[in-house]
Amino acid sequence: MKIAIIGTGNLGKSIAKGLITNNAITSLYLTKRNLEELEDLDGYKNIFLTTDNQEAVKNSDILIFAVQPAHFEKILNDIKPLLTEKHTIVSTITGFVIPKIEEEIGADKFIIRAMPNTAIAVGKSMTCICSNTQGKKRVQLAEAIFNRLGHSLVIPEAQMQAATVVCASGIAFWMRLIRATTQAAIQLGFDAKEAQELAMFTSEGAANLLITNGNHPEEEIDRVTTPKGCTITGLNEMEHKGLSSSLIQGMVASFNKISNIKKEQI
Ligand SMILES: NC(=O)C1=CN([C@@H]2O[C@H](COP(=O)(O)OP(=O)(O)OC[C@H]3O[C@@H](n4cnc5c(N)ncnc54)[C@H](O)[C@@H]3O)[C@@H](O)[C@H]2O)C=CC1
Ligand SMILES: O=C(O)[C@@H]1CCC=N1
């Protein structure tokens, strides 16, 4: 696959690392305004670093856009004359809806919106995907790419804003939970390194129980909560302090912020 990542910042670089580690490329063009931060990716076979988006577009078939929302429109305009039948446009840009992309480059283009997360760097991204009418013909291609780099789900575009919060921002939310459990483990007597080890692998185990068994989280909780025991005592105290409620309210606030990002683009 001849892939270009237009805007190799935090997310773009994570995608690049995932693609390289999984041998998922024939060639990979990485573009960025300042290439210094990509030095560690220099020198790999078939990887090209450039500030020239047009060069990347000409030499690639799959174009993954990972720039800030405010920069996307101008970049689309710059590369529009170079787009041909061979190109599949994959946008990871938050809040930039397909009708707006079609307005810039035309509804005849194969347009996919993908919402991955930074765990794509280690092949563990939960990526949601949707497309325009033309892009439906290439959704399977997008699924194939993102399934190599984790797990993917095709959704209607109307759910993309929610997917951004749950999956993309979700990495930060889960990190904070892991950090908080690490802090608790330190208070309970472990040194910092051990505390993080306990927190990381316990959260991995919890997620894997659900992935492997397909159970509801409460079924797994019932297996752990001994009557009159320490687990239910801790859980109830967390809920008295608003654990579930604060997570839900935070995610709804995050969702509402995306509506403002969209308005800022108009
Ligand atoms: N960071 C994340 O976890 C996620 C980000 N996103 C979306 O991905 C996009 C990028 O986010 P980040 O990587 O966090 O931002 P970032 O600011 O780290 O990366 C953007 C990159 O684009 C480059 N850039 C700017 N103008 C350019 C141009 N004309 N040509 C080529 N490169 C250019 C910048 O130099 C920068 O390296 C945003 O739209 C964001 O909403 C989506 C999902 C997850
Ligand atoms: O925080 C943000 O706005 C972007 C979108 C999801 C992850 N990072």
Question: If you classify domain 2-155 with CATH, what class do you get?
Answer: alpha beta
Residue 261 pLDDT > 80, yes or no? no
Kindly give the number of the ligand 1 atom that is closest to the alpha carbon of 32: 32
Q: What is the mean pLDDT of residues 195-204?
A: 98
CA-closest candidate to residue 238, choices 181, 192, 182: 181
Q: Which fold has domain 165-265?
A: ProC C-terminal domain-like fold (1.10.3730)
Substitution candidate for ligand 1 out of 68, 80, 124, 149 with most atoms within 8 A of CB: 68
pLDDT band, residue 260 (cuts 50/70/90): confident
ipTM over 0.85: yes
Fold matches, 2-155 and 165-265 = no
7 within ligand 1 shell (Cβ under 6 A):
yes
Residue nearest (by alpha carbon) to ligand 1 atom 29: 75
Tell me the domain boundaries of the chain: 2-155, 165-265
pLDDT band, residue 43 (cuts 50/70/90): confident
Is position 156 annotated in a ligand binding site? no
The pLDDT mean for the chain works out to 96
32 within ligand 1 shell (Cβ under 6 A):
yes
Q: Give the pLDDT confidence of 207-255 residue by residue, as tens digits.
A: 999 999 999 999 999 999 999 999 999 999 999 999 999 999 999 999 9
Q: Give the pLDDT confidence of 16-37 residue by residue, as tens digits.
A: 999 999 988 999 999 999 999 9
Pairing of strands 125-131, 110-115: antiparallel
168 within ligand 2 shell (Cβ under 6 A):
yes
Percent of the chain at pLDDT > 90 equals 95
9 within ligand 1 shell (Cβ under 6 A):
yes
Q: Give the pLDDT confidence of 78-118 residue by residue, as tens digits.
A: 999 999 999 999 999 999 999 999 999 999 999 999 999 99
Q: What is the mean pLDDT of residues 128-156?
A: 98
Is position 265 annotated in a ligand binding site? no
3-state secondary structure of 151: strand
Residue 266 pLDDT > 60, yes or no? no
Question: 154 CA distance to ligand 1 centroid (A)?
Answer: 23
DSSP label of 167: I
- CA distance to 110, 138, 181, 199, 201, per residue, from 148 (Å): 21, 16, 31, 27, 23
Cα(165)–Cα(66) distance, integer angstroms = 17
Substitution candidate for ligand 1 out of 5, 8, 11, 57 with most atoms within 8 A of CB: 11
Q: Which ligand is nearest to the CA of 169?
A: 2
- The dihedral built from the CA positions of residue 13, 91, 88 and 49, taken in this order, carries a sign that is negative
Q: Give the pLDDT confidence of 160-175 residue by residue, as tens digits.
A: 999 999 999 999 999 9
